[in-house]
């Protein structure tokens, strides 16, 4: 018996990996985070499969489901949104499974920030403008940030920031990043990427808070901050330049 942690991607049912879908189609037990994973994502479970929406369950209740499946010798598709490695709340489940001696594996998924960049038709690593992306969040009720991971520290890099789980902290984001990025620094708020009600709000550090307030958005959004979001005068990448050679292509004469 194995628990398969599966990254379902940002929300669109056709953005799950082939491996992830095959596991869902084969497992007689499926647990999914219904608040973030649409029911369509798990619609192809086998006939008669036990399907559990874990959005209202505690960790102990989820582990009890794993133990029940283990006792019955049934594999479990444990479906999470995005990619399990990023704010996936899987580490504590794996720790419990290790203690119980229950086998598990992980299938990656399309992370929401990558799906947002695709929908926006943006490359986040623009030559000589931005070559670093920092995925982070701000301190909220659920948990504090470790020392040294505050926005004022991370922002000193000038990197493109992708701030998760922080839509209600826009005032703090403006306060901490404006001295580092400037009031006119581009900001994009990406709401429910991959869902039918997907929405993007474009602004700057100076006005994004008021724009988001006017929109009524209060959850399920990422905040992109950085000059590379609107860069259009960057040089071409060396990768395809005629004067650049590598092992598969000689430089043009």
Q: What angle do CA 212, 217, 223 make, to 5 degrees?
A: 60
Do 175 and 143 form a contact (C-beta atoms < 8 A)? no
Task: Return d(Cα 63, Cα 69) in angstroms, integer.
Answer: 10
**Structural tokens at position 150:** 């505050």
Nearest Cα to Cα of residue 166 among 193, 187, 138: 138
Angle at which helices 170-181 and 208-215 cross, to 10°: 160
pLDDT of residue 247: 64
Do 100 and 76 form a contact (C-beta atoms < 8 A)? no
- Please, what's the b/e burial string for 81-98 (b: 16 or more CB within 10 A of its CB; e: otherwise)? bbbbebbbebeebeebbe
- Please, what's the b/e burial string for 216-246 (b: 16 or more CB within 10 A of its CB; e: otherwise)? ebeebbbbbbbbbbebeeeeeeeeeeeeeee
pLDDT of residue 189: 97
Task: Return d(Cα 57, Cα 60) in angstroms, integer.
Answer: 8
Provide CB contacts within 8 A for 223, sequence distance 6+.
Answer: 161, 162, 163, 166, 167, 170, 173, 187, 188, 189, 190, 208
pTM for this predicted structure: 0.88
pLDDT of residue 76: 98
pLDDT of residue 208: 96
Torsion of CA 83, 86, 89, 93, to 10 degrees: 70
Per-10-residue mean pLDDT of the chain, 253 residues long, equals 96 94 97 92 95 96 98 98 93 98 97 96 90 90 82 94 93 94 96 93 96 90 93 70 62 56
pLDDT of residue 236: 73
pLDDT of residue 114: 96
Task: Return d(Cα 210, Cα 203) in angstroms, integer.
Answer: 10
Provide CB contacts within 8 A for 86, sequence distance 6+.
Answer: 111, 135, 164
pLDDT of residue 139: 81
pLDDT of residue 128: 85
Q: What is the CA radius of gyration of the chain?
A: 21
pLDDT of residue 45: 96
pLDDT of residue 9: 93
């Amino acid at each position: 018996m194995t628990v398969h942690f599966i990254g379902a991607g940002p929300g669109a049912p056709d953005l799950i990996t082939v491996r992830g879908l095959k596991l869902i189609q084969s497992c007689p037990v499926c647990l999914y985070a219904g608040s973030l994973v649409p029911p369509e994502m798990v619609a192809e479970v086998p006939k008669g499969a036990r399907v559990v929406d874990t959005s209202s369950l505690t960790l102990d209740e989820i582990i009890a489901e794993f133990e029940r499946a283990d006792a019955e010798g049934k594999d479990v598709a444990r479906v999470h949104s995005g990619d399990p490695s990023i704010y996936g709340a899987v580490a504590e489940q794996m720790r419990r499974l290790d203690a119980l001696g229950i086998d598990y594996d992980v299938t990656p998924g399309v992370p929401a920030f990558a799906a947002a960049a695709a929908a926006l038709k943006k490359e986040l690593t623009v030559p000589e403008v931005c070559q670093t992306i920092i995925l982070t969040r701000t301190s909220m009720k659920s948990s504090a940030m470790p020392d040294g991971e505050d926005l004022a520290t991370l922002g000193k890099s000038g990197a493109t920031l992708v701030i998760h789980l922080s839509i209600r902290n826009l005032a703090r984001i403006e306060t901490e990043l404006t001295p580092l990025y400037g009031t006119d620094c581009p900001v994009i708020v990406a709401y429910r990427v991959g869902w039918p009600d997907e929405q993007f709000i474009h602004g700057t550090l100076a006005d994004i808070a008021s724009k988001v307030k006017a929109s009524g958005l209060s959850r399920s959004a990422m905040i992109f901050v950085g000059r590379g979001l609107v860069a259009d005068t960057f040089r071409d990448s060396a990768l395809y330049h005629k004067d650049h050679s590598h092992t598969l292509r000689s430089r043009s004469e």
